[in-house]
Structure 1
Amino acid sequence: MSLVRAGGAAIAVVVAVVLQVTVFSHLAWDGVVPNVALLVVVAAALVRGPQFGALVGFAAGVLVDLAPPADHLAGRWALALVIVGFMAGLVRQESRITVPMALGTVAAASFVGTSIFAISGLILDDGTVGVVEMLQVIGIGMVWDVALTPLLLPLTMALFRRIDPPRFATW
């Protein structure tokens, strides 16, 4: 990975997490904020593939795990976003990215990522949220993430295309 690509990804992840914990925290719906870091991970994976998506997912997940007001065991978001990044990168390999495909990928990534985070909390006994509350959080999270997709995903994907363009046409 080139230094330019790594630096651009690091900046995108830091900006996303800062926006998520500052600006978007004021827009919480039943305590659920949009997962801006997840959108950056999906964008990276859709542009660069599963390995890059997993790397960006790990970095974003660790940052989300450690950013205040984190109230959970560190590593849960890192695990979730690594899997999301890899999964979204596999979508890129299968077909040309269209708007419906991008929306579907974000919805699936939001469902998978939030579910992994929630299930890992049950396994680790980290919190007192029940299954019904978890399903509500997963649904609200999906709505938030899909709603923000038209605003954030094209910009982030354009950023990842601009920094260190691929040496061959990807689609």
Structure 2
Amino acid sequence: MRVNRILLSSSLIVVALVIQVSVLARLHLPGAVPDLLLLTVLGLALVYGHVGGALVGFAAGLLVDLAPPADHAAGRYALVLCVIGYLAGLVKPESGQVKSATGPMVVVVAAALGSTLLYAGVGALVGDTAARHVGLGGLLFTAALYDLLLAPFVVPGVMALARRAENDPLAETSSTAKAGDVSSGWISGGTGLRIGGQRSGLRMKAARARMARAGRIKGVKRL
């Protein structure tokens, strides 16, 4: 199961990063850039929980920090996505299935705002003042808007793939075999009861026949 998580998370993160760098970043939309990688981390965190979400977020953020054309300090976005993945994993549904789209949409908006604020805050600590020149208010609004519009096409699909990867075919096969053993046990037990019942019925009939014969013999002697 852990191998499935690693393989699926790595594949989704690489695909999301390639699409974001090669397609979304070149759209030149006003304000922020749609964060496909953030939505991928959110979808995985809502299935894997807070620990898995933090690990996936850290790995995804570190890949962004090292991938060209990175223009910020390494580890900055890794810290942001690690915190966001951990917090998103805390609201993982107990049943593992989301009953309505309201919860994930709220998580997406909160993650978009929180990641932008946290990224700007970490940048201010290391001397990066780019967010002040661009306008933090515009970045927050456009980041939440773009991610919210993109989320219905990304988050449900990522969650569905993560749930499917969680199902272990070996475990299903063993459980099916156990169920077959139990059912065969019930069948054999039922057959034994039937055979035993038939034998007891034959014995009762034989005993009744003997008693009837004895009664007849006694009656003849009396006569």
Give the alignment's TM-score, normalised by structure 2.
0.70
Q: CA deviation at 1:30?
A: 2.3
Q: CA deviation at 1:34?
A: 0.7
Q: In structure 2, do the counterparts of structure 1 residues 154 and 72 end up closer, same or farther at CA, with 3 Å as the change threshold?
A: same
- Counterparts of 1:113-124 in structure 2, within 5 Å, are 113-124=115-126
Contact 2:31 2:142 in 1 (8 A): no
Identity %: 41
CA distance in 1, matches of 2:58, 2:81: 6
Give 3-state SS (helix, strand or coil) of 2:128's partner.
coil
Give the match for residue 27 of structure 1. Answer: 27
Give 3-state SS (helix, strand or coil) of 1:126's partner.
coil
Partner letter of residue 134 of structure 1?
L
Unaligned runs of at least 5 residues, structure 2: 172-223
Contact 1:21 1:67 in 2 (8 A): no
4+ residue runs over 6 A deviation: none
Give the match for residue 103 of structure 1. Answer: 105
State the Cα RMSD in Å. Answer: 2.0
Give the alignment's TM-score, normalised by structure 1.
0.89
Q: Is the deviation greater in 83-92 or in 20-29?
A: 20-29
Q: CA deviation at 1:32?
A: 2.2
Q: CA deviation at 1:93?
A: 4.7
Unaligned runs of at least 5 residues, structure 1: none
2:152 aligned with 1:150: yes
Give the match for residue 10 of structure 1. Answer: 10
Q: In structure 2, do the counterparts of structure 1 residues 124 and 152 end up closer, same or farther at CA, with 3 Å as the change threshold?
A: same
Structure showing greater relative contact order (alpha-carbon pairs closer than 8 Å, 6 or more residues apart):
1
Give the match for residue 68 of structure 1. Answer: 68
Question: How many residue pairs end up in the alignment?
Answer: 167
Give the match for residue 162 of structure 1. Answer: 164
Give 3-state SS (helix, strand or coil) of 2:14's partner.
helix
Q: CA deviation at 1:131?
A: 7.2
2:89 aligned with 1:89: yes
Give the match for residue 114 of structure 2. Answer: 112
Contact 1:39 1:145 in 2 (8 A): yes
Question: Rg bigger for which structure?
Answer: 2
Residue deviations 1:79-119, cap 9 Å, x none?
11001101111111578632010100011011111111111
CA distance in 2, matches of 1:16, 1:132: 25
Give the match for residue 42 of structure 1. Answer: 42
